[in-house]
Every structure is written in structure tokens, then in C-alpha cells.
């Protein structure tokens, strides 16, 4: 059994997107000493505009963290967890693809 090159590329992109998401959210938490959250957009004004790129790339981590926490504390149903995981993985594929394409442009490949 062999994995096709396109499947391998999708797995690599997904892993990169999830890793980048966790890295950005953890870096934000380390620098600001508060959790990365979609509530940063509620501040409005310049703060929300500055937070938007960070949230765009750290969203899969935030979605998965909130989903697992909600399952543990609020006993959310498994289908909800599955749907949220699918959304986070899809978002991670997109952000991973953007990061790979950007890295290739910077490297000149």
C-alpha cells in the first residue's frame, strides 16, 4: 500500500497548519499573558484589526481547544465535537497551504 503524492502533500499541509496554529496561539499567550480567543475581535477598533491576522492563523487551535474543553466540562455531544474538528482541520489545511506557498515564494522555489 502506498500513499499518493497528493495525499502526502495534504497530510503535510494539515500538520503544518495545526503546528503553526498552536505556535501562534501559544506565542500570543506567552507575550500577552492572556488566552488567544475570538473575543479579541469584540474590542473593536485598531485592536481588533491587529488581532485579525493572528486569529486567522491560530483559529484551528482555538476551535479545537474550546471544543475539547466544552466536551469535558459541558458534556457537549460527540457529533458536535466531530463537526468542530472537521471545521478546524479544513481551516488548518487552508492556513497550512498559505504558509507553504509563502515559504516557497520567500525561498524562491
Express each pLDDT in 97-107 by its tens digit.
Answer: 999 999 999 99
What number of CA atoms fall less than 13 Å from residue 89's CA on the CB side?
9
Distance separating alpha carbons of residues 19 and 24, to the nearest angstrom: 9
Set of cell numbers at residue 32? 500577552
DSSP tag of 101 = H
Cβ contact 67:81 at 8 Å: yes
| Measured distance CA(16)–CA(4) in Å, rounded | 18
pTM: 0.87
Distance CA 84, CA 81 (A): 5
Whether the predicted pLDDT of 109 surpasses 80: no
Residue 77: which pLDDT band, with cuts at 50, 70 and 90?
Answer: very high
Say what the pLDDT of residue 88 is.
Answer: 96
Amino acid at each position: 500500500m502506498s500513499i499518493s503524492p497528493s495525499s502526502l502533500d495534504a497530510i503535510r499541509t494539515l500538520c503544518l497548519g495545526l503546528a503553526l496554529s498552536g505556535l501562534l496561539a501559544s506565542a500570543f499567550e506567552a507575550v500577552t499573558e492572556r488566552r488567544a480567543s475570538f473575543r479579541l475581535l469584540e474590542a473593536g477598533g485598531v485592536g481588533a484589526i491587529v488581532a485579525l491576522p493572528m486569529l486567522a492563523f491560530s483559529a484551528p487551535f482555538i476551535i479545537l481547544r474550546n471544543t475539547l474543553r466544552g466536551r469535558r466540562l459541558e458534556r457537549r455531544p460527540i457529533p458536535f465535537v466531530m463537526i468542530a474538528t472537521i471545521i478546524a482541520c479544513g481551516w488548518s489545511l487552508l492556513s497550512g497551504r498559505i504558509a507553504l506557498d509563502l515559504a516557497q515564494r520567500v525561498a524562491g522555489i
